[in-house]
């Protein structure tokens, strides 16, 4: 029997803590239990502060994992001994494990034209027997979107990666998961670009020091305005934790 996630919270948003996220998801995939996975970081947390619809989508997701360093540090300050689990690593673990058992069907949605297709081709080279049943870029008009919905309904893939960026991918999953109700849906951000070799992840020493965001800013300098969410998250998190501790001392 798979491990049961422990529910915690980050600034009012749910976060699920466990040791084996891939194992829990593989169990649900095998049972055909529909699942929406959100990879929570500081930027998304601050967006949800200003967007009640996004906050509701996160709250209703079956699994919210600690993707960002800020989220992990916040939880550690609460005394929870956890490790960061980036969404890209969760996705990779599920794809790699497909060769260890009966392959589940996979669909890649998102990225610029050709990127998801290239990423899928590279994964099929790495994992013999990987069953990627379709790919679709994320630049769709209304006619193409309707065709995509029909394709998903027909194929019924078991694992669907959606790389449309935050919060668009979270909204898209919430609005369309009824098309494949038994599927596991995961928002993977820019993972297709990395798998396709267009971009690279931060060096290990940067990630180990919680500076992966700095490397991403180096690769995508246009994101600097969005990065302003990080100091805002830190300030709000420190205030919230201080208030919790003061309240805890006041209570009998």
Residue 226 main-chain phi, psi, to 5 deg = -70, -30
Q: What is the pTM of this model?
A: 0.86
Would you place residue 224 in the very low, low, confident or very high pLDDT band (cuts 50, 70, 90)? Answer: very low
218, part of any domain: no
Residue 196 main-chain phi, psi, to 5 deg = -80, -10
Residue pLDDT, tens place only, 134-150: 999 999 999 999 999 99
To the nearest 10 degrees (0 to 180), the angle between helices 52-60 and 168-176 is: 60
Mean pLDDT of 148-170: 97
244, part of any domain: no
Domain that holds residue 110: 6-199
pLDDT at 239: 77
Highest mean pLDDT among 41-45, 119-123, 126-130: 119-123
Give the Cα separation of 197 and 10 in Å (integer). Answer: 33
Give the Cα separation of 221 and 218 in Å (integer). Answer: 6
Residue pLDDT, tens place only, 84-93: 899 999 999 9
181, part of any domain: yes
Residue 186 main-chain phi, psi, to 5 deg = -130, 125
Q: How many domains does the chain have?
A: 1
Q: Nearest CA to 49 among 241, 191, 240, 244?
A: 240
35, part of any domain: yes
Residue 75 main-chain phi, psi, to 5 deg = -70, -35
* More confident site: 244 or 31: 31
The SS3 assignment for 130 reads coil
249, part of any domain: no
């Amino acid at each position: 029997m798979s491990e049961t996630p422990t529910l915690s919270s980050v600034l009012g948003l749910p976060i699920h803590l466990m040791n084996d996220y891939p194992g829990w998801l593989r169990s649900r995939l095998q049972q055909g239990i529909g699942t929406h996975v959100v990879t929570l970081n500081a930027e998304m947390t601050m967006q949800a502060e200003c967007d009640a619809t996004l906050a509701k989508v996160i709250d209703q997701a079956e699994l919210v994992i600690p993707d960002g360093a800020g989220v992990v540090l916040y939880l550690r300050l609460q005394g929870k001994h956890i490790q960061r689990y980036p969404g890209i690593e969760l996705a990779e673990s599920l794809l790699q494990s497909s060769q260890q058992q009966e392959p589940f069907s996979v669909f890649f949605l998102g990225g610029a034209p050709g990127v998801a297709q290239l990423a899928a081709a590279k994964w099929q080279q790495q994992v013999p027997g990987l069953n990627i049943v379709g790919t679709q870029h994320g630049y769709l008009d209304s006619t193409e979107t309707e065709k995509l919905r029909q394709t998903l309904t027909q194929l019924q893939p078991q694992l669907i990666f959606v790389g449309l960026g935050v919060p668009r991918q979270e909204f898209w999953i919430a609005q369309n998961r009824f098309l494949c109700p038994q599927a596991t849906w995961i928002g993977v951000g820019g993972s297709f670009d990395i798998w396709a070799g267009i971009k690279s992840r931060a060096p290990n020493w940067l990630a180990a020091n919680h500076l992966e965001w700095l490397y991403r800013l180096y690769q995508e300098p246009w994101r600097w305005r969005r990065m302003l969410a990080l100091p805002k998250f830190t300030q709000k998190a420190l205030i919230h934790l201080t208030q919790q501790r003061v309240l805890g001392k006041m209570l009998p």
